[in-house]
Structure 1
Amino acid sequence: HNITCKVGYPYLKTAEEISIKISFQFNASYLLENATVHVYATSDSEEPPETLRDNRGHVTIPVKYEVGLIFVSVFKEHHVIIAANDTVPTAINTPEQIGDEVTLHYRIEKGEHFPMPNLTLQILFPNITAVKNTLLYLTALSHSQNAICETSYPVDPLKISAGKPFVLSKIKEPTKDTIMDCDTYSCASINCALVPSDVYQVNVSLRVWKPTIIKASIHSLTLVAKALLRSENSSLILRNDNQKLETMIKISKELPPGTVPLWVILLSIFAGLLILALLIFALWKAGFFKRPLKKKMEK
């Protein structure tokens, strides 16, 4: 496209500047990596040949297209409750003895306007504690045919689903943390290459390793699993809200009968002190503490 503009009519003053604003509208069916603008300045007046070289210039602008895909997780939170009478067995013989199952479902759908780029999906979840006790155990991984997935942590590495018993370690769990995520703890990863398609589906099945939670001296724990989506095409980018999804796995332990939670004790103490302060304030306002001691001494 050629655009001709008459500027500085009838003439430009010395050191005078002219600003020109150009707006572009791009065709979604024909994607450009760059937009180049060439500018030429001509004049009706005569100009010495040695100054003609600065009468032209160009600027190249990289073009980024925001892909309007849909990236969702079926569940944002999972809640797991461990009974007060649960104990640590000597061995695990079936997947059900490991603990409750948590399934992560991820779905990606193509947007309306732009083509789907090559994508990479990375799923991270905390799998062990600092002393190598298991937190989340990977039992199954399934995905659509247009996804190619590899794991850093094998599916069912102990072969428990195949009937192989696993003798539990007696190592205690010293952790005091109530939140574990991949920023501070070791995490297993699942990396999926997604070839351009309309719909993708990735499902991850995990088991909460109940013996570790029972051995830990904490009453609640939140495990944070996250999925990171990245475009492999520098021109087709993702919105910020389509780049990361987090799933909270909230685990709580029931207290034994007759046990009062610490927060109840602290709340009761605080309420008692507050009532005492209000009572003292009411007595002070009523003049209870204003005794005529000085007058009695004078008499």
Structure 2
Amino acid sequence: MTVPRSSLGDIHYNLTADVLHKASFPHRFYFHGNGSSNGTTGRVRTRLNQLTCAQHLTYLRREVRDIYTPVQFEASYWLRQPSASRSSSRSLRSLKPILQQRTGSTHTVTNQTKFSRFCLEVNCSTNLQLSAQLVLPQNLSYFALGNGRSILLKTTLVNSGDDSFLPRMSLRFPTHIHYIKVLQNEVSCDVSEGGVDCSISSLSLPAHTELNINFLLDVNQSSSAGDVSISVNASSDNYEMEEYLGDNTASLLLPLRYGVDVNVHGFVSPTSFVFGDEQSTPVDCYSESFNFTYKVLNLGPSRSVDSVLEIELPKSLSPYSYRLLQLTDWQSSQGQCHLSNQTATVEEECDLPDVSVLKQIVFYFSKTTTRRMFCGRQDILCERLVCYLGNLESGKEATVQITTKLNPTVLLQYPGRHGIMVVESIAVVTSPTEDEHTIVTHTLPLAQVAVEAHFNQKPPAAVQIFIIIVSLIIGLLILTALIYCLWKAGFFKRQHQKTEDDLKRESWDYVPKMDKTESSS
């Protein structure tokens, strides 16, 4: 060290060995004169235009596990302040020596060296290659929210370069993704803010070595549907060339979806009734009552968002405009229901026109047939009840109960009347529908409930009179034909043939009769 001043000065310094050592490892070098410490102090006296040196001997510990981190020595120095000396008041004060310092630098010098080792790459660069894959439950292409199952994150770390010292892996994901555990014992992980930081217990990953690490993750049940990004990054404390850093990171997309499997079931009580009895005249024309019950069950793993159930029942008997069935009351265990006003207008009549005698006769002697009265989607001839059930959690059900009344007189209209009339109602789950965030297992699940109306086969009064008259006419015709046939067969004629023997036959008296000659004598 050269000092361009004529005065002398003492420079004090602190020398520290192995400044870059890892905090989890002891210092690899120490100074023997100061025990086991890695630091020492000293001073040198400078002279004008002379190089002054001080030598220190350091020792390497026996067991050194970190041969990858460079060894750096650091010396910080300062100039000792000279003591004040007495001098004449007239003489000039001696100048204080100063140390030259460049802008932005301090009075610190460093020296760095590396352990000698055999390397395959330039500058002993490592080359970490990371690949990752998400394994979702049931091998689906999406993760169904609320299914209660974990996600398997499979990663593979390959070192294609030189030995990698302190390899580590970090996971970063949103807050509604939770880390459960790592499946490999040789890997330890700590949960940090925004992710997980993992390290390998073997301290180093040798060259051309492959390591498989699997993680278990979970998703918060209250999460919203969407695509979630999970990033995985691998790094180490070794130098890695910039062109090798491109495959150190893997980004995965986790599709979160609502997996909905909604079913609907329905039943009615009673299931059948008999119509066509003219002798009974009820006070209320809507004399038949029915109770419909529909159950909507979510069997899917996720909640059904904004569930809607539409129930349709035949409103009239085509081609007539008379009201057949009316809804008197409805209740829902969840949400609200209301009647749709987008249906055809019907006549609220109880006194319907009578069917002609000829039509009644034709119907009575016709073959018994069945007619189905059903509703199509958005059918204006049907009464439509729309129920907004809201969110239906997984495994939960909602019940809709409907009370209806039916006018059996409408079923007697002809044409249109049949021996068996089947009144079918249909319930369809119209929401949720499949979109970018919802996967529906069954498209438009529906339930059909039927009520059978059986004609009693009792002839009306007009038909009874017709049968009696026709029977009498047929009976008279049969009697006339029978008499005619008997007359033709000669049943009404007697034939008496008197023979000569019958005229001359003797009396039945056993007394013999005398000849005429004898009697005369």
**Counterpart secondary structure, 1:98:** coil
Residue type of the partner of 1:73?
Answer: G
Superposed displacement of residue 225, structure 1: 0.2
The answer as to whether partners of 2:323 and 2:347 remain within 8 angstroms in 1 is no
Distance 2:280 2:316 in 1: 17
For the pair 1:219 / 2:419, whether they are aligned, the reply is: yes
Query: Residue 195 and residue 40 in structure 1: after superposition, are their counterparts in 2 closer, same or farther (change >3 A)?
Result: closer
Distance 2:317 2:418 in 1: 14
Q: Give 1:247's match in structure 2, choosing from 446, 449, 453.
A: 449
Unpaired runs of 5+ residues, structure 2, are 1-150, 161-207, 210-214, 235-239, 364-368, 464-521
Structure 1: 4+ residue segments shifted above 6 A:
7-11, 22-25, 39-42, 45-49, 109-113, 157-160, 171-174
Query: Residue 229 and residue 208 in structure 1: after superposition, are their counterparts in 2 closer, same or farther (change >3 A)?
Result: same
Match of 1:82 in 2: 275
Q: TM-score scaled by structure 1?
A: 0.55
The answer as to whether partners of 2:423 and 2:452 remain within 8 angstroms in 1 is yes
Q: Give 1:63's match in structure 2, choosing from 252, 257, 260.
A: 257
The answer as to whether partners of 1:230 and 1:238 remain within 8 angstroms in 2 is no
Q: Which structure: larger Rg? A: 2
Query: Residue 109 and residue 193 in structure 1: after superposition, are their counterparts in 2 closer, same or farther (change >3 A)?
Result: same
The answer as to whether partners of 1:142 and 1:202 remain within 8 angstroms in 2 is yes
**Counterpart secondary structure, 1:211:** helix
**Could you give the per-residue CA deviations for residues 145-204 of structure 1, whole angstroms, max 9, x where no partner exists?**
7432211369xx9998xxxx8432568999x87112112962110111124476644322
Q: TM-score scaled by structure 2?
A: 0.35
Distance 1:78 1:212 in 2: 19
Q: Give 1:194's match in structure 2, choosing from 389, 398, 401.
A: 389
Residue range with higher mean Cα deviation, 31-40 or 125-134: 31-40
Query: Residue 169 and residue 193 in structure 1: after superposition, are their counterparts in 2 closer, same or farther (change >3 A)?
Result: farther
The answer as to whether partners of 1:126 and 1:135 remain within 8 angstroms in 2 is no
For the pair 1:33 / 2:225, whether they are aligned, the reply is: yes
Residue type of the partner of 1:34?
Answer: G
Query: Residue 129 and residue 46 in structure 1: after superposition, are their counterparts in 2 closer, same or farther (change >3 A)?
Result: farther
The answer as to whether partners of 1:76 and 1:247 remain within 8 angstroms in 2 is no
Superposed displacement of residue 119, structure 1: 1.9
Q: Give 2:405's match in structure 1, choosing from 207, 211, 214.
A: 207
Query: Residue 32 and residue 3 in structure 1: after superposition, are their counterparts in 2 closer, same or farther (change >3 A)?
Result: farther
Residue type of the partner of 2:382?
Answer: C
Match of 2:374 in 1: 181
Structure with greater helix share of residues:
1
Superposed displacement of residue 64, structure 1: 2.6
**Counterpart secondary structure, 2:411:** helix
Residue type of the partner of 1:253?
Answer: F
Residue correspondences, number: 235
Percent identity over the alignment? Answer: 10
Unpaired runs of 5+ residues, structure 1, are 12-21, 260-299
RMSD across aligned C-alpha pairs, in angstroms?
A: 5.2
**Could you give the per-residue CA deviations for residues 220-251 of structure 1, whole angstroms, max 9, x where no partner exists?**
11121011234448656666499322111111
Q: Give 1:104's match in structure 2, choosing from 276, 288, 292.
A: 292
The answer as to whether partners of 1:71 and 1:242 remain within 8 angstroms in 2 is no
Match of 1:256 in 2: 458
Q: Give 1:149's match in structure 2, choosing from 337, 343, 346.
A: 337
Match of 1:128 in 2: 316
Distance 2:321 2:347 in 1: 17
Distance 1:227 1:98 in 2: 23
Residue type of the partner of 1:228?
Answer: V
Match of 2:351 in 1: 167
Query: Residue 25 and residue 41 in structure 1: after superposition, are their counterparts in 2 closer, same or farther (change >3 A)?
Result: closer
Query: Residue 79 and residue 177 in structure 1: after superposition, are their counterparts in 2 closer, same or farther (change >3 A)?
Result: closer
Distance 2:294 2:319 in 1: 31
**Could you give the per-residue CA deviations for residues 32-83 of structure 1, whole angstroms, max 9, x where no partner exists?**
41354667899xx98979xx69x9665453523336x775434387112114
**Could you give the per-residue CA deviations for residues 102-123 of structure 1, whole angstroms, max 9, x where no partner exists?**
2212345677975564321211
The answer as to whether partners of 1:133 and 1:212 remain within 8 angstroms in 2 is no
Query: Residue 106 and residue 63 in structure 1: after superposition, are their counterparts in 2 closer, same or farther (change >3 A)?
Result: same
The answer as to whether partners of 2:316 and 2:346 remain within 8 angstroms in 1 is no
Structure with greater strand share of residues:
2
**Counterpart secondary structure, 1:182:** coil
Residue type of the partner of 1:209?
Answer: N
Residue type of the partner of 1:211?
Answer: T
Query: Residue 6 and residue 62 in structure 1: after superposition, are their counterparts in 2 closer, same or farther (change >3 A)?
Result: same
Query: Residue 196 and residue 33 in structure 1: after superposition, are their counterparts in 2 closer, same or farther (change >3 A)?
Result: closer
Residue range with higher mean Cα deviation, 245-254 or 128-137: 128-137
Query: Residue 58 and residue 115 in structure 1: after superposition, are their counterparts in 2 closer, same or farther (change >3 A)?
Result: closer
Residue type of the partner of 1:246?
Answer: Q
Residue range with higher mean Cα deviation, 130-139 or 119-128: 130-139
Residue type of the partner of 2:339?
Answer: T
